[in-house]
Each structure stands twice: as structure tokens, then as C-alpha cells.
Amino acid sequence: MTDYQPQAADVKKLREMTGAGMMDCKRALVEADGDMDKAVDILRTAGLASAAKRAGHAANEGVIQSYIHFNNRVGVLVEVNCETDFVANTDEFRVLTKDVSLHIASAKPRWISREDVPDDVIEGERKIYEAWAREQGKPEQALAKIVEGKVAAFYKDWVLLDQPFVKDDSKSIGELVDEVGAKIQEKIAIRRFARYELGEEAD
């Protein structure tokens, strides 16, 4: 068993090279003992690197999955797309859509991806975090790093693809989608969702 622990920059580089999920990149680097080329080979063998090649494909098929929580107080509708009707009817894809709808019911995301978060919301958060850091007496040169860390935490709280999967918090929903896409060899995209909770007013 290797004691090697991959650096975040190496994990990011491997993900950019292969399109595989962050956790898969991390595992591959550990298995390869930090050898980038070997890690790439490990991911290709596992079929995970093909996700990047599918990025430009159209995902126009799929399903609209519904989920009603056991207490009948929370309900979710989510549209998850794939490339072909055949894949939309596979067990792997259906399990993914159910897992995503259950996760949305539990984790209450507000947006699907970081790109969906309005600029003014992020700017407002940055100002709050910077003011907080100054009040805490943090050094000026550390402010930018502190603010970025807080913004990343904000994404994990409210952005679906960044949120830790409620059934396995070692991976994010984005990484879960990447893994299933690699397994079924198609692009998968979460297009939209609606979450309803008894007594809540609609947005």
C-alpha cells in the first residue's frame, strides 16, 4: 500500500486530461503512485476518460423522474438527459435519476451548476466573506484565499453538481454523473429540476 497522497493540482490536471471524475482521478494517482501517464492509462482502461470525448455530443433523450419523500411533505421532479432512448431505459440510468431526485429532496440545491448562479449573488457572497475576514483580523494577503475557500463552500452547499452525494459523500453529484456516463458510454446532463416542500411558497 502506497503512502502517496495526490496534490489537488495533480488531480485537477488529470481530470482536465481525461474528463474523469475527481475521485476517480485521485484513486488513479494513488494507484499509480503519482505517475501521471500511468494514471491516465488506469483511467482509460476503466473507460472513464471517454467522458471528455462525449462532451460535445447532444443529450436529447432521457427521463423526467419524480420522487415523493416518505413523509409525503417533499416532492421532486428532475429531467436527466442522455444521448439515446436505449440508454434512457437501462437500469444504470434509471438508478442514477432516482438517486439524483432523492438527493435533491434531501440536500435542497438552488442551482444545477456554478454557471447557473447569478453573478450578483456570488459578488454579494464575496463581499460578505471579505468583510467577515477583515473583522476577524485576517492578514490582507490571506483575504483572497479565504474568500475563495468560502465561495467554494457556498457552491458545495447550494449547487447540485458540487454537493456531496447524500448516499456517498466521498463523491459529488457531478462526479456521480461522470461515473455513470463513463459506464454507459454516453453524455449525461441534468437539465432542470423542481423541488416542492409542503407549506413553502413557490419561487
- Grid-cell match 456570488, residue found: 122
Number of neighbouring beta carbons within 10 Å of residue 30: 17
Question: Considering just the CA atoms, what is the radius of gyration of the chain in Å?
Answer: 19
pLDDT tens, position by position, 26-52: 888 999 999 998 988 888 777 655 555
Residue 33 · residue 57 · CB < 8 Å: no
The H-or-E segment that residue 127 falls in is helix 119-135
pLDDT number for residue 9:
86
Q: Where are the domains of the chain?
A: 8-54, 61-113+159-197, 118-157
Quote the pTM value.
0.69
Give the model confidence (pLDDT) of 176-201 as tens digits: 999 999 888 888 999 999 999 998 76
pLDDT at residue 60, rounded to an integer: 74
Topology alike, domains 61-113+159-197 and 118-157: no
Average pLDDT over residues 109-137: 92
Topology of domain 118-157, CATH? GTP Cyclohydrolase I; Chain A, domain 1 (1.10.286)
- Tens-digit pLDDT profile for residues 133-189: 888 888 888 888 999 999 999 999 999 999 999 999 999 999 999 999 988 888 899
Residue 4, helix vs strand vs coil? coil
Q: Say if residue 92's pLDDT is above 80.
A: yes
* Contact between 39 and 17 (Cβ < 8 Å): no
Q: What pLDDT is stored for residue 2 in this prediction?
A: 56
At 2, the amino acid letter reads T
* Amino acid 4: pLDDT: 80
Percent helix, percent strand, percent coil in the chain, to nearest 5: 55, 15, 25
Question: Is the model more confident about 47 or about 116?
Answer: 116
Choose which CATH entry (3.30.70.360, 2.40.50.140, 3.30.390.50, 1.10.8.10) describes domain 8-54.
Answer: 1.10.8.10
The pLDDT of residue 186: 86
> What is the structure's pLDDT at 135?
86
Sequence-distant (6+) residues with CB within 8 A of 187 are 51, 54, 55, 57, 58, 59, 82, 83, 181
| 61-113+159-197: in CATH 2.60.40.10 | no
Read off the pLDDT of residues 48-63 as tens digits, 9 standing for 90 and up: 555 555 555 556 789 9
pLDDT of residue 51: 56
